Structure 1
Amino acid sequence: MNKKLLVVLTNTAKYPTIPRATGLWLGEAVHFIDKVQQAGFAVDYVSPAGGCVPIDPHSLRMAPELDWQWYDDKTFMNRLGATLSPGQVKAEQYSAIYYTGGHGVMWDFPDNQPLQELARRIHERGGAVAAVCHGVVGLLNIKLSDNSLLLKGRRVTGFSNTEEKLAELDEVVPFLTENELGARGGEYSKADDPWAPYVVEDGSLITGQNPASTTGLAPRWVLQVKRITRRSARHDAPGRARSTRTAP
């Protein structure tokens, strides 16, 4: 299995019902990507429509130095301006998929069937699926080959109802993330305090609650994918003897 990550980002640049910009929450992308690239993983970028990914200007307020380093990186910014469309992506080339957040994803992640199909194929080949904050809404409608929902019976987190209300956007978003995760059969949990980092790992599914969770999610993702890659390498090793067992 390839050491290659597919990062999913939004194309939504503004809220449909209020005069306010939205888009990618930059830190949820760059803090994750920075860690995984240091660990030796290559990264590709995909968005629901392909092409330009807007950055939510609110994510730049009080942004740490790392965010600005990536923001000033012309290569990275050019890649955000020319992301792949789902039809240009082959799931077999990736060992994992990661859904970034930002409120924009609420409008273009949940019902994008080509992205759902990519995630399903990566997952069913033994790859890891990760998401942070609002990015978890990209997981809501993923159905597996047996027609069951990916989230059913899985431990998961994501942006909480309390955090949405504190952001004063609970009546602007089309639904509340926490509610919908539960409605899909996910076993939702969250940090005791709003905005505190919180990561949930359930096998190859790893989710983070909010922007602060990205830094903690990344190293756990790296360990998970390294385990998957090692298992795949052992399985695919030339001349590897396959044991058989006969029932008594």
Structure 2
Amino acid sequence: MKKVLIVETNVTRYAGTHDATGLWLGEATEFAEELQKEGIEVDYVSPKGGFVPLDPRSMKYVDESIMEFYETSDFKNRALSQTMRPSEINPDDYFAIYYAGGHGVMWDFPDNQELQSIAMAIYHQNGYVTSVCHGVAGLLNIKDNNNDYLISGKTITGFTKSEELLAGKRSVVPFFNKDEAEKRGATFQQKRAYKDFAIQDGHVITGQNPFSARSVAKLLIKNIK
């Protein structure tokens, strides 16, 4: 059976600051856990491969299931220490790609053409392109063979301006997800800040914030069962 590819950031700090960022832990563990409950295997890739930093703020929002998954040797090795490089990925091995969030992705996801090519190859094979929270940044610049944006005409979601304000990061982020999505012809839907919300439009599935990772996974699972 084909697998799901989880994309994570290599960025350790907000650009131009000393403030640490990285992967939002639960967005990777909760998504992966839901898939593994169904016997679906996952692989982990990052723009540079290798080490993936954790956003220290994400550790404040862990529960027992997140911690248990985090503590497994498989996750620590494959998801945090030894992620694959895009050049090592064969899109034919996957039926979906999932962009996990954390603020770091805003700097190394949008312009990574290797990851965009992988995502588009999976999509063209009737696969799914999915994301949660800031991970939607990875979808912004994916284009099809006609040079049209993948999200053009699609309804999607991601971390919102109001959530940036509540997080205290509105002044340091390089862009707002809603603004950039709408520039590319997408319809950006959102619900109340920090409430679980995930939506599907065709083969694109997106979640609004860190509390939406399981819902994104469940939507994906529903489609492949």
The question of a shared fold, defined as TM-score above 0.5 by the shorter chain, is answered with: yes
TM-score (norm 1): 0.88
Q: Can you give the 5+ residue segments of structure 2 that lack an aligned partner in the other structure?
A: none
Q: CA deviation at 1:78?
A: 1.0
Matched ranges for 1:10-159 at <5 A: 10-79=9-78, 80-159=80-159
2: CA distance, partners of 1:150 / 1:44: 23
Could you say what secondary structure the match of 2:135 adopts? helix
Q: What is the CA RMSD across the aligned residues, in angstroms?
A: 0.9
2: CA distance, partners of 1:167 / 1:18: 16
Q: CA deviation at 1:100?
A: 0.2
1: CA distance, partners of 2:38 / 2:74: 19
Matched ranges for 1:203-218 at <5 A: 203-218=202-217
**Highest CA radius of gyration, 1 or 2?**
1
**Partner of residue 177, structure 2:** 177
Between 130-139 and 195-204, report the one with greater CA deviation: 195-204
Q: CA deviation at 1:99?
A: 0.4
Between 65-74 and 90-99, report the one with greater CA deviation: 65-74
Letter in 2 for 1:119: A
**Partner of residue 221, structure 2:** 222
Q: CA deviation at 1:20?
A: 1.1
Q: Does 1:6 align with 2:13?
A: no
TM-score (norm 2): 0.97
Aligned residues: 224
1: CA distance, partners of 2:213 / 2:74: 22
Q: Does 1:164 align with 2:164?
A: yes
Hey, which bits of structure 1, 4+ residues long, moved more than 6 A? none
Letter in 1 for 2:101: G
CA deviations 1:112-170 (Å, max 9, x no partner) are 00000000000011001110000000000000012111000001000011101111111
- Aligned identity (percent) is 46
Q: Can you give the 5+ residue segments of structure 1 that lack an aligned partner in the other structure?
A: 227-248
Q: CA deviation at 1:71?
A: 2.1
**Partner of residue 230, structure 1:** none
1: CA distance, partners of 2:28 / 2:83: 14
